[in-house]
Structures are given as C-alpha cells and as structure tokens.
Amino acid sequence: MAHRVSDTRLGVKTRVFHLGDYRRATVGPGQDVPDDYFFVNGEDISVLADCDALNKGFGCASSVLLRQKILRKCREDIYRFFDKEKGQIAIYDAVNPLAAGRRVLAKEFAKHDVQTLFIESACDDVRIIEENVRSVKISSPDYVGWTSNEAVQHYLARITAKIPHFETMNEPELNYIKMINAGERLSVNNCSFGYLSHRIVFYLLNLHIKSRHTYFARAGNPSKGDSYKLDASLAEQGIDYARKMGDTLIKHREEERQALIDRGGADTPLKSLTIWTSPRRRTVETAHYLQEKGYRVRQRSQMSQLNPGVCEKMSERRIRLEYPDEVQKHEADPYHHRYPRAESYHDLAVRLEPIILELEREQNDLLIIAHESVLRVLYGYLMACNATDIPTLSFPRNEIIEIIPASYNNQAKRIQIPDLPDEIIPASPEDIRIPVAPSGVVSPMNGLGSPMSGAQSPMEGNRSPDKGYMTPKEHGSGTHLLVERALRGV
C-alpha cells in the first residue's frame, strides 16, 4: 500500500522509507535478528525520542540498541529527504502500535515543521489475513528460501505477538485514517487536513487487496503508418498480431492456472478477464479477436496516446536545428518537459488519474491494450518507477507484460508472442525521439522500484520522481507531510 500511495501522478516528490529495508541493510543479507526484535514496539520510531520510557520490558538491551540504530538511520534519511532534496511526502512504512509512541513521533516531527498523517490498516477477518499473507507477505525479502507454509506461519506469529498490545488509533489530537478489513470501512480523524491529505483519503477509498494480474500489450500496427493525427485501421499484419497476442495470453493464463494446481492450489476457474482500450481504431480492433471469444472490452477515452505536438514525424536532426532550447529543456527533464503544442509525460499521467483509480478498483484480471506512451505511465505507476525513467521504458510488440502483486513492489513477467515479423516488433516511431532512447526490442527496465541490493541506505533507489512540480501546500504550520502506518491484523 505504501508504494501505491507514493505514486507520481500528482507530480509530488515522494519517497517510501520502509523500516524492514533498513533492518535488512543493517543486519546484513541472510542474517537473523534477535527473537525479541519484533516485540510490540520493535519498529516504533518513538524509541528515538524516549527509549527508556517506551521500551521498558520490551526486549533485551541488545535488541533495544539495534532498534535505536535502525530507527536513527531511518529518521536521518527522512530529514535529509525533506531538507536537502526538497521532498514533499515521506512514507514511513512500519508498525506503530502504541498510542504513546505515536504521540511522541508526531511531536518529534512537528519540531521539524513536518505534519504527520497516520494510516491504520485493521483486520479481524481471518480469511483476508491468511489470503493476504500467503499471496503477498511471504514474497518479502525476509522469506527468501523459505517454504510457503513456513513463511506463512512465521509471519502470522509476528502478528500474533503484537495483537495483545496493539492500541487502535483513537487519539483525538492526531490526523489519521483507519481502514477496516481491507477497505470495507474507512474512518477519518481530520485535525488539520490539507490538499494532499484529502487526496490520500480519496485514493484509499478506491483500494482493495484482492489479488489480480494486470497485462500490458501494444496495439497492432495500423494500415496507413503510425501517426497521432491519423486514426487508421489495422493492417493485415496488425490483425494477425491481434490473433497471436490473444492466443498467447489465453494459453499463458491456463498454464498458470494448471501450475498453481500442480503446486497444491485449489482447482478453481480462472478469474474473469476484462480488456481496456483507447477509442482509437487500432486499439479497439486489436481487442476484437478476444471480444469475439466472449471477453468484455471497454473503451477508455483517457487512454489516448501522448500528443507529440509539432515534433510529430520530425527527425532528431530537424528537431535539434529548429528547437535547440526545447531540446535542452527536454534533456534536463524528459518527464515534465513538453514540446510546443505537445503533452509531457506528467500531463499524460494527470490525464490518466481516473484510469489509475479505476485500475485500483478493478477486481478482475485486466488486459490493457494501448499506445506505448500510455503503457509507460501505467507501468511506472504499478512498478513504482522513478519518473525520470518512465519516458525510456520500452514495450516491443512481441511481448505481453504481466504485473503480479507482491509485497514492497509488484513483479513483472514477460510473455513472448511467437512468430511475429521483425518489422512490427520495435517501439512506436511517432514517439519524440530525443533524448529518449529508441526502444528497439528492449523490455521495460529491470528492478525499477526495488531497493538497491547492498546499498548502505535503503532510501537509495528508483521510487519517486527526482523532480516534482509543486502542488498546493498542506494547510497549517507544516510544509511537509509524513505518512505513518500503524498495522493491526494485516
């Protein structure tokens, strides 16, 4: 959830500070922490301010010192992000189970002119808890090399150890959002909400945790050449591509289902598949083959491709000659810059906000057939990409990209579409070619959004835009927003 809240579509400079990453970076790969490390306030940042008072009786001295060291490093990085990097939202992703600790934390950050918003996810539905742990939590780096059952039992034991001591959020003086049973109900305590806080509430209203897969596929090639202005039908090669893409996806989903059964999973029918396209002919016609097989297709007007403006069909040499100043601006910030009468990728992301919210609400498996520029933004959202990397992501036509929910970051899988002619595979030629590298047959970048292995500080990584346009500031004394997470049940 933390990475979803930190998405880049509002142009707000955001970073996730996951305490588990700091623990793994401090302890070292494959190393265990003391058994009492996960006692009730083992991940409570308030120990930084009042360790003796809040940790009395919660673990041995070595565990307390280890937690202090990890928490201190996390807090230093948060302050550096706000003060040195001009960050706007820091998401502190950890368990904060005690009311006293949350109050201390809010006061500590208020001294640095940072507002605090707590998000509590409470769940008493055993089915939801076990399903969430089995499908998401056990993919955590903590459980590499564990069997599924061992990982599930260990994580449930972590939860059980905290439940007797957990104090649900009822502090009237604090800003908080309480989610019950994965969005079944939402409770809000609004002391000093501003623009960004209200946007977060609106976003959380659209979330669910039911597992589903999202697939990305390019539209087939048109009959009259790729062009933003023309709305051409598919060429014969495009129709052939649509058929092969559809058959490949159907076969892959059935193979995945059978593999799950072979691993001991339930023999249940495949989840329904919904297809979204833009209104442009080539995307609609690419979905016809699957529509004829009974799959539901919806046209979404917001999913039209990025408008290249005056640079459409211009060569790189001509653009550099006619718009040297624009080229310089674009090279400095390819995500936010727009050429004359064009859209930037940030403009496109804002246009796609209703699609992103509906994507979160969607409970069926989802196939999105769209232009490469649209796929870049949606992939960047789901995979927590750095905004500056989004313009360089590539989606060749001989691959379907499958996004699979996982803890910390989703996982991406490439599904090869066989027997396609080489000339239709490369990326869209109408994209502005400078300084964005040609896509060729390269797939979306590996590892975007994942913590860097071996890094001294987990804060380093491709998680949020390096440069964010300013949005309306939070009302009140704080100029930054810290989003905290308190966890109960899941």
Look at 184 and 379; give whichever has higher pLDDT: 379
Please say if the pLDDT value at position 117 is more than 80.
yes
Q: How confident is the model at residue 163 (pLDDT cuts 50, 70, 90)?
A: low
Q: What is the pLDDT of residue 139?
A: 67
Please state which of the ranges 30-39, 424-433, 454-463 shows the lowest mean pLDDT. Answer: 454-463
Q: What is the pLDDT of residue 191?
A: 78
Q: What is the pLDDT of residue 155?
A: 78
Give first-to-last CA distance, the chain, whole Å.
Answer: 11
Please say if the pLDDT value at position 264 is more than 50.
yes
Residue 219 neighbours by CB under 8 Å, 6+ apart: 238, 277, 280, 282, 283, 286, 369, 370, 371
| CA-to-CA separations, 411 to 79, 213, 288, 414, 459, in angstroms, rounded | 30, 10, 28, 10, 20
Q: How confident is the model at residue 429 (pLDDT cuts 50, 70, 90)?
A: very low
Query: How many other β-carbons are positioned within 10 Å of the β-carbon of residue 421?
Result: 12
365 a catalytic residue: no
Look at 10 and 265; give whichever has higher pLDDT: 265
Arithmetic mean of pLDDT, 356-369? 91
Q: What is the pLDDT of residue 135?
A: 66
Q: What is the pTM of this model?
A: 0.72
Q: What is the pLDDT of residue 375?
A: 96
Look at 221 and 443; give whichever has higher pLDDT: 221
Q: What is the pLDDT of residue 30?
A: 65
Q: Are strands 480-488 and 214-218 parallel, antiparallel or unpaired?
A: unpaired
Look at 114 and 140; give whichever has higher pLDDT: 114
Q: What is the pLDDT of residue 121?
A: 84
Arithmetic mean of pLDDT, 219-246? 89
Q: How confident is the model at residue 448 (pLDDT cuts 50, 70, 90)?
A: very low
Q: How confident is the model at residue 295 (pLDDT cuts 50, 70, 90)?
A: very high
Arithmetic mean of pLDDT, 401-412? 81
* pLDDT tens digit sequence for 36-84: 666 654 444 343 344 443 344 444 667 778 888 888 999 999 999 999 9
Q: How confident is the model at residue 161 (pLDDT cuts 50, 70, 90)?
A: low
Please state which of the ranges 73-87, 241-255, 380-394 shows the lowest mean pLDDT. Answer: 380-394
Q: What is the pLDDT of residue 122?
A: 82
Please say if the pLDDT value at position 132 is more than 90.
no
* pLDDT tens digit sequence for 321-360: 999 999 999 989 999 999 999 999 999 999 999 999 898 8
Q: What is the pLDDT of residue 450?
A: 31
Most confident of 90-94, 178-182, 246-250: 246-250
Among residues 21, 44, 77, 93, which one is catalytic?
A: 93
Please state which of the ranges 68-82, 121-135, 279-293, 374-388 shows the lowest mean pLDDT. Answer: 121-135
